[in-house]
A = this chain, B = another copy of it.
Amino acid sequence: MRLSAFALSTTKETPADAEIVSHQLMLRAGMIRKLGAGLYTWSPLGMRVLRRVEAIVREEMDATGALEVLMPAIQPAELWRESGRWDLMGDLMLRMHDRGEREYCFGPTHEEVITDFVKRDVSSYKQLPVNYYQIQTKFRDEIRPRFGLMRAREFIMKDAYSFHMDEADLDREYHVMRAAYTAILDRIGLDYRVVAADSGAIGGAKSEEFHVLAQTGEDELAVSEDGRYAANTEAATTHRPEGERAAATGELKKVATPGVATIAQLCQTLEVPAEKTAKAIVVMGEDARPILLVLRGDHTLNEIKAENLDGVATPLTFAEESVIREHFGAGPGSLGPVNLNIPVIADFALANAGDLVVGANYDGAHFVNFNWGRDSIEPQFADLRNVVAGDTSPDGSPLQLLRGIEVGHVFQLGDKYSKALELTVLDENGKAVTPQMGCYGFGVSRIVAAAIEQCHDDSGICWPTAIAPFELAIIPIKADKSAAVREACETLYAECRAAGIDVAFDDRGLRPGPMFADAELIGIPHRIVVSDRGLEAGTLEYKGRRDSESQNIEHSMDAIKQALGRTADE
């Protein structure tokens, strides 16, 4: 491509309303332009990257035997009412009426539509398993669209839906999809982690997320040191530590802590580290009586885990202050497990702890040297909290916390949608069976932004070659004054194209500075500079996008191919 005919539109200035690097660089490189809140037009430059991602995703999906379809963007409300999600989806879903006043939504996802499709087309076990996928624009009416493509309202997803006669076959396909996602991310060339995830509102049993690692990632991931265990911190589990509980070393003693409302204040007042303190949170039980949850002072409650505990009310409900005062005789800042006649559930991290500082159930007072069993009943211990760096992972090695950007999610949905929409197929014996379903989402436009978050420097984007808009930039020096430079560039441009190299020839007639800056900003992985001096010496100046220095290479296609990491035959 000649850049003179490519409508490149870059800027030096960082746009004021772009908060994160990928948004800033996509705007500066001119990959996207804003039309309205959360709505972007992809420019020719952006499209080249998007199409490369799309092609990789399509190839890997096709390789698994999944079949491409295309479902309508606009979906009738009735289907969503059948699944029970019309009301559940709330304001995130863009709704509308047609001229006949029938209700529709701009589909944020297609479980209902594909289940309806399969219902019309599949009647026998012979037609299963089947896995349908599509690559399509979705809409989510974000309350505060921001971060460019990371939280856009319109975005492109690859979504796939599989149908199976039983759970074992669903599990098989789930692992096929998991492997396909791994292949896609390996081919794109990003550092990522597959993490255990909570299935959330979409329902179902097993699910994992694919996260591209980046310091700016929205999600926190807990990954074991040897990499065998990884989970979204929301879903990462902790367990009861091995070994014995620490022995008590002193007597339970009430101390005055006037005005202390937080663990930080408590640590400061009593000069104890936070890990020697316990904090108490009161939630309501299924029987409408309160339950005391106790965590180490420096840990945080994981509400999903708490909600899943036996006896705890769903959804998780924190006790009103009046209820707390009635049962504890004190306010929320001074609660503890001593002298209670309500259930106590303590986090595993406290199971072996002794000599703790706990609330005294007396306003402005705490106990020191609290020990389980001696100073209170022995509580139930459970996994109540979010993991922290250094926790032991289920595989035994310490967990580290990383930040990631979710770009893929695979789910075992089970029969949630097939049941709700009354999809059945006949098995070998002619008996109607409700198929098991899996769904698999991949953020096609999102991964473009995620790649930039992971791969950039002060000069701009550093694309992985597989999704770079161009592989190589050819930059002429003083082409206006040198016929030799012009001719050499034209020859190289033709030869590179003939060799299947996707080349951007900067024939815009700019000074070297702006050409170098553009090539770096838009992230072309390789560049060669053609100058009179080089031509006289028989050399080209080569620089990889991440190289600190340029180097002279022979003026030949073989040398260029070698610099690009290709063999001479490629």
Contact = CB atoms under 8 A, between A and B. Distances in A.
Contacts of A72: 35-36, 39-41, 154
Interface in A53-71: 65, 67-71
Contacts of A98: 94, 141, 153
A442 interface: no
B69 A43 contact: yes
A70 B91 contact: no
A556 interface: no
A137 interface: yes
Interface residues of A, number: 51
**Most B C-beta atoms less than 10 A away, residue of A76, A96, A117, A143:** A96
A28 B160 CA distance: 25
Interface stretch (A4-12, A289-297, A373-381): A4-12
Contact of A74 (B30, B113, B130, B139): B139
A74 B44 contact: no
Interface in A202-218: none
A417 to B, nearest CB: 15
A5 B129 CA distance: 9
Nearest to A70: B42
Contacts of A489: none
B41 A70 contact: yes
A72 B40 CA distance: 6
Interface string A75-114: 1100000000000000100111011000000100000010
A74 B154 contact: yes
A35 B94 contact: no
B33 A117 contact: yes
Contacts of A7: 67, 121-122, 127, 130, 132
Interface in A337-394: none
A496 interface: no
Contact of A68 (B36, B47, B73, B141): B47
Contacts of A116: 35
A431 interface: no
A530 interface: no
Contact of A121 (B5, B43, B95, B117): B43
A50 interface: yes
A5 B65 contact: yes
A73 B68 CA distance: 21
Interface string A521-541: 000000000000000000000
A481 interface: no
A71 to B, nearest CB: 5
Contacts of A94: 74, 96, 98
A127 B6 CA distance: 9
Contacts of A6: 67
Contact of A36 (B5, B39, B76): B76
Given A65-B5, A95-B96, A73 B127 contact: no
Given A9-B121, A33-B120, A73 B73 contact: yes
Contacts of A50: 70
A118 to B, nearest CB: 9
Nearest to A116: B35
A270 B39 CA distance: 69
A94 B104 CA distance: 11
A121 B34 CA distance: 11
A59 to B, nearest CB: 13
A73 B117 contact: no
Contacts of A130: 7
Contacts of A154: 72-74
Contact of A71 (B35, B51, B122): B35
Interface in A117-140: 117, 120-122, 127, 130, 132, 137, 139
Nearest to A114: B41
A376 B124 CA distance: 80
A130 B94 CA distance: 34
Given A7-B130, A35-B116, 5 more contacts: A6-B67, A41-B71, A46-B69, A47-B70, A91-B99
12 contacts: A7-B121, A7-B122, A7-B127, A33-B121, A35-B116, A36-B72, A41-B71, A47-B69, A50-B70, A51-B68, A94-B96, A106-B106
Interface of A: 5-7, 9, 30, 33, 35-36, 39-44, 46-47, 50-51, 65, 67-76, 91, 94-96, 98-99, 106, 113, 116-117, 120-122, 127, 130, 132, 137, 139, 141, 143, 153-154
Report the 9 A-B pairs with minimum CB-CB distance, sorted nearest first. A96-B96, A44-B67, A42-B70, A39-B72, A91-B99, A36-B76, A9-B121, A41-B71, A47-B68
